[in-house]
């Protein structure tokens, strides 16, 4: 990656961090005074704040990590395969640490895990161990009638 491009991202990251510091300074202390309605809405607002702040903190860590990578000279390299992450991808997601191929592979893997968990919790409303699913008890997502077959199989397993 060209030095000027790296400088461009460095500037962006530093700007994000300095804006964050201003934002943190502006946060007002939690107010628990007022009537009950006020308290409830304040608590709700605080919960929202908390979630936003948590997400923000994760992002800020990524920004700091990216800055560190710039210092180390590894910014823009895929952490998995070492390939150069494309400029367009970095523009869309400056803190990306995987190239698009590795990211897609990772997401595919995550989706498969999610689907397995979903299938296992749906059957009879009980948790069926994944090993059983892999032995042929997995429900065909495209067929609803198959659910009953799987359910009966499950009854056979537990009885
Ligand atoms: Zn990669």
Ligand 1 center to 56 CA (angstroms):
26
**Each residue's pLDDT tens digit, 62-100:** 999 999 999 999 999 999 999 999 999 999 999 999 999
Q: 91: helix, coil or strand?
A: helix
Which residue did the predictor score with more confidence, 149 or 11?
A: 11
High-pLDDT (> 70) share of the chain, %? 64
Write down the pLDDT at residue 150: 45
Ligand 1 center to 35 CA (angstroms):
55
Q: 96: helix, coil or strand?
A: coil
Q: Round to whole Å and give the CA distance between 17 and 102.
A: 28
Specify the length of the chain in residues. Answer: 159
pLDDT at residue 145 tops 50: no
Ligand 1 center to 98 CA (angstroms):
5
Ligand 1 center to 104 CA (angstroms):
9
**Each residue's pLDDT tens digit, 30-46:** 544 556 667 777 777 78
**Each residue's pLDDT tens digit, 108-134:** 999 999 888 776 655 555 555 555 445
Ligand 1 center to 85 CA (angstroms):
8
Domains of the chain: 3-98 (1.20.120.910), 105-158 (no CATH)
Q: 77: helix, coil or strand?
A: strand
Q: Round to whole Å and give the CA distance between 13 and 127.
A: 45
Ligand 1 center to 71 CA (angstroms):
21
Ligand 1 center to 78 CA (angstroms):
5
Cβ atoms within 10 Å of 28's Cβ, excluding its own: 5
């Amino acid at each position: 990656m060209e030095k000027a491009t790296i400088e461009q991202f460095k500037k962006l990251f530093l700007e994000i961090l300095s804006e964050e510091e201003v934002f943190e300074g502006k946060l007002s202390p939690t107010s628990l005074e007022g009537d009950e309605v006020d308290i409830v809405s304040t608590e709700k607002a605080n919960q929202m704040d908390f979630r936003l702040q948590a997400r923000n903190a994760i992002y800020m860590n990524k920004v700091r990590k990216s800055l560190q990578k710039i210092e180390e000279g590894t910014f823009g390299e895929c952490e998995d395969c070492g390939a150069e992450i494309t400029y367009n991808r970095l523009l869309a997601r400056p803190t990306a640490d995987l190239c698009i191929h590795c990211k897609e592979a990772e997401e595919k893997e995550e989706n498969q895990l999610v689907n397995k968990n979903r299938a296992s919790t749906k059957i009879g409303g009980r948790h069926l161990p994944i090993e059983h699913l892999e032995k042929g008890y997995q429900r065909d997502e495209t067929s609803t009638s198959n659910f009953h077959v799987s359910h009966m199989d499950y009854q056979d397993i537990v009885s």
